[in-house]
């Protein structure tokens, strides 16, 4: 994780410029009481109008300068913090993308959304408005105390005492708020997750008439979020009056004690006026101290959450000198592959060899490990035992991007982006895919007919996750996306489950015509794998049966039982073939 300091150092030039603007603005603030002191002593008390026009001009110029440099100070700091926030969000997103799939198995989408958006917003404020106000408060306080001492030493101890009390209060408040903000950040992630899941599954919610249940579930998190924010408010209420009271009482107390000093001849009226203005200039830092402490505590809580994500790293092994395979053919070999996830053995001693251009069918009951084999081929996980080779090269030694680029996948859970149909199909080769290739892939996937009947055809924008399309239409677009990638390995993970038998049969014929592509077909339907060169049947993460369609039928084992369940008693010609 890059430190905040590294982001600040990257923009040192603009930060220096912003600081210079701030210093000039503060210097002008310090000059104003001195000019006022001269007006009171020379003009009002001494009746000397010689320099009065120049003194008035000085006040006007100070006001204009303060406005101009104050504006550029605010703008430059804001620009810096927005730029840093953008960079931090990009870096965090890059890091999340680099994590292996096992991290996402245990993390919620809502939590990650809260970290990328809300927590980054809090952190970049720390190097923007919070940093600017903190520097202003510190510099103002130091300079004001100096000028006060130069006017009247004994009287200065009064505002100094108030400032020490406010500083101590701010430290206590920060410690009180630290745990509160940590809890608020966590609950914000929980509430975001609940809302995200509910909205993503709104059709399921309505189908099961669970609206009231989901409302109560969301209300529970919303109520807890409300309670935590009220706890924050109660903590602030305890401490903010200290800052407000100090800001109100201090000028009055200074005016009274300073007036007595003027009456006794220990200071003149102009000096008292300047001192009171300095006092008013030190009241706003006291009030700002509460806000700064509040925002600082909130930012630190968010920082802890972000650091937890950066502490996570991909569990995939990294080869410092990866092997690049020229012209991947698509030959896949599993040799005694095992995999454990979360302390549970998912696959055990899986071995098979699939020559380039051949087809492997994978069947088995739900949870038997079918999709896990697919995840291993794409190297979403590294096996805990054995080896996986692509064209004879161990995939852990290859470039990760090349391994995944070699495969085109039609997932069981079809995911389409909220974009045009054209953009969803060209996802595998966004930069160089032609429209002819897109239409050809759609035709092969039996999707062109319904796409071209749409009003905007391939330019039709589909909703999030393909909302507005049927399950079969989404699957056909997903198949077209995979075909158009022209990858040497085509993976079909139960990809025709939502299609009717006739369409499935047509797509299978089309896929059989693609002779140069290695195919791995995961399916529950016998019809999807019966033409495969080899079929493996998984049970409890192990290969229970293997062979061709005819060989497995003759064994009259698990595959045979599945055939009977789907088609009834097999014909003698199937068994004897």
Q: For residues 328 and 517, give the distance between their C-alpha atoms in angstroms, rounded to a whole number.
A: 11
Inter-residue long-range contacts of 63-67, CB under 8 Å, 24+ positions, other chains counted: 65/24, 65/25, 65/28, 66/25, 66/28, 66/29
Q: Is 495 exposed, middle or buried (0-12, 13-18, 19+ CB in 10 A)?
A: buried
| C-alpha dist (Å) from residue 79 to 32, 84, 86, 132, 298 | 29, 9, 11, 12, 21
DSSP-derived letter for residue 407 is: E
Residues 6+ apart with CB under 8 A from 557: 537, 544, 545
DSSP-derived letter for residue 328 is: -
Q: What is the pLDDT of residues 375-408, one digit of tens each?
A: 888 888 888 888 889 888 888 888 888 888 888 8
Confidence of residue 369 (pLDDT cuts 50, 70, 90): confident
pLDDT at residue number 577:
43
522 near 370, Cβ under 8 Å? yes
User: Could you tell me the pTM of the whole model?
Assistant: 0.69
Mean pLDDT score of the chain = 81
Q: What is the pLDDT of residues 498-557, one digit of tens each?
A: 556 666 666 677 666 666 788 888 888 887 888 888 999 988 888 888 888 888 888 888
Confidence of residue 573 (pLDDT cuts 50, 70, 90): very low
CATH assignment of 323-406+489-577, given 3.40.50.300, 3.40.50.2300, 3.40.980.10, 3.30.460.20? 3.40.50.300
Residue with tokens 């003009």: 43
Phi, psi (rounded to 5 degrees) for 547: 150, -170
Query: The tokens of 165 are what?
Result: 């009390």
Residues 6+ apart with CB under 8 A from 278: 33, 144, 147, 148, 151
Determine which of 23-37, 50-64, 65-79, 486-500 has the lowest per-residue pLDDT on average.
486-500
SS3 344: strand
Higher pLDDT, 355 or 421: 355
What average pLDDT score do residues 477-481 get?
83
Q: For residues 21 and 28, give the distance between their C-alpha atoms in angstroms, rounded to a whole number.
A: 11
pLDDT at residue number 503:
65
Q: Which CATH superfamily is domain 416-486 in?
A: P-loop containing nucleotide triphosphate hydrolases (3.40.50.300)
15 near 56, Cβ under 8 Å? no
Percentage with pLDDT > 70 across the chain: 89
SS (H, E, C) 465-530: HHCCCCHHHHHHHHHHHHHHCCCCEEEEECCCCCCCHHHHHHHHHHHHCCCCCEEEEECCCHHHHC
pLDDT at residue number 215:
79
pLDDT at residue number 466:
54
130 near 296, Cβ under 8 Å? yes
Of 481, 516, 487, the C-alpha closest to 405 is 487
416-486 shares the fold of 323-406+489-577: yes
Q: How many Cβ atoms sit within 10 Å of the Cβ of residue 369? A: 24
Query: The tokens of 234 are what?
Result: 């109660």
Q: Which fold has domain 4-310?
A: ABC transporter transmembrane region fold (1.20.1560)
What average pLDDT score do residues 110-128 get?
78
Q: What is the pLDDT of residues 405-419, one digit of tens each?
A: 888 888 777 777 777
pLDDT at 100 over 70: yes
Q: What is the pLDDT of residues 354-365, one digit of tens each?
A: 898 888 988 888
What average pLDDT score do residues 314-330 get?
82
pLDDT at residue number 296:
78
Best-predicted range by mean pLDDT among 94-98, 102-106, 429-433?
94-98
Q: Domain boundaries in the chain?
A: 4-310, 323-406+489-577, 416-486
What average pLDDT score do residues 219-236 get?
81
SS3 89: helix
Q: How far apart are the first and last CA of the chain?
A: 62
448 near 394, Cβ under 8 Å? no
Pairing of strands 407-410, 489-493: parallel
Higher pLDDT, 518 or 242: 518
């Amino acid at each position: 994780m890059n430190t905040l300091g590294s982001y600040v150092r990257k923009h040192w030039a603009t930060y220096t410029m912003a600081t210079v603007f701030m210093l000039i603005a503060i210097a002008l603030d310090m000059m104003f009481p001195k000019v006022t002191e001269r007006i009171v002593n020379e003009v009002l008390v001494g009746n000397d109008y010689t320099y009065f026009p120049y003194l008035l001009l000085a006040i006007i110029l100070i006001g204009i300068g303060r406005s101009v440099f104050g504006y550029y100070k605010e703008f430059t700091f804001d620009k810096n913090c927005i730029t840093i926030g953008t960079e931090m969000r990009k870096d965090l997103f890059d890091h999340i993308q680099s994590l292996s799939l096992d991290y996402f198995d245990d993390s919620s989408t809502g939590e990650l959304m809260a970290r990328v958006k809300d927590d980054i917003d809090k952190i970049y404020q720390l190097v923007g408005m919070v940093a600017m106000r903190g520097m202003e408060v510190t510099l103002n306080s130091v300079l004001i105390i100096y000028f006060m001492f130069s006017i009247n030493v004994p009287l200065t101890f009064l505002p100094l005492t108030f400032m020490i009390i406010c500083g101590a209060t701010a430290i206590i408040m920060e410690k009180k708020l630290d745990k509160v903000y940590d809890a608020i950040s966590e609950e914000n992630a929980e509430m975001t997750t609940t809302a995200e899941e509910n909205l993503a599954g709104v059709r399921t919610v309505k189908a099961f008439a669970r609206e009231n249940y989901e409302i109560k579930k969301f209300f529970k998190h919303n109520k807890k979020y409300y309670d935590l924010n009220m706890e924050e408010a109660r903590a602030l209420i305890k401490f903010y009056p200290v800052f407000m009271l100090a800001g109100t009482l201090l000028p009055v107390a200074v005016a009274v004690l300073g007036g007595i000093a003027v009456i006794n001849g220990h200071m003149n009226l102009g000096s008292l006026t300047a001192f009171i203005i300095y006092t008013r200039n030190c009241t706003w830092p006291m009030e700002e101290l509460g806000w700064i402490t509040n925002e600082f505590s909130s930012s630190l809580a968010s920082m802890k959450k972000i650091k937890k994500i950066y502490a996570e790293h991909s569990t995939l092994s990294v080869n410092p000198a990866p092997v690049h395979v020229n012209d991947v053919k698509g030959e896949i070999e599993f040799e005694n592959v095992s995999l454990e996830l979360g302390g549970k053995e998912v696959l055990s001693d899986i071995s098979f060899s699939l020559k380039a251009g051949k087809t492997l069918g994978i069947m088995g009951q739900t949870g038997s490990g079918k999709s896990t084999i697919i995840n291993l081929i794409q190297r979403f996980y590294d096996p805990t035992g054995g080896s996986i080779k692509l064209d004879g090269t161990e995939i852990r030694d290859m470039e990760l991007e090349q391994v995944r680029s070699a495969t085109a996948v039609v997932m069981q859970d079809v995911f389409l982006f909220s974009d045009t149909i054209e953009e969803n199909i060209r996802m595998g080769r966004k930069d160089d895919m032609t429209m002819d290739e897109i239409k050809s892939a759609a035709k092969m996937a039996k999707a062109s007919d319904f796409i071209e009947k749409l009003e905007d055809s391939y330019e039709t924008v589909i909703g999030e996750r393909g909302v507005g399309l049927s399950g079969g239409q989404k699957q056909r677009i997903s198949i077209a996306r995979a075909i158009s990638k022209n990858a040497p390995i085509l993976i079909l993970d139960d990809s025709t489950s939502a299609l009717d038998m006739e369409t499935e049969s047509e797509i299978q014929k089309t896929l059989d015509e693609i002779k140069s592509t290695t195919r791995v077909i995961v399916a529950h339907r016998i019809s999807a794998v019966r033409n495969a060169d080899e079929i493996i049947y998984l049970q409890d993460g192990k290969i229970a049966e293997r062979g061709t369609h005819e060989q497995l039928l003759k064994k009259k084992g698990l595959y045979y039982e599945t055939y009977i369940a789907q088609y009834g008693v097999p014909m003698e010609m199937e068994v004897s073939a």
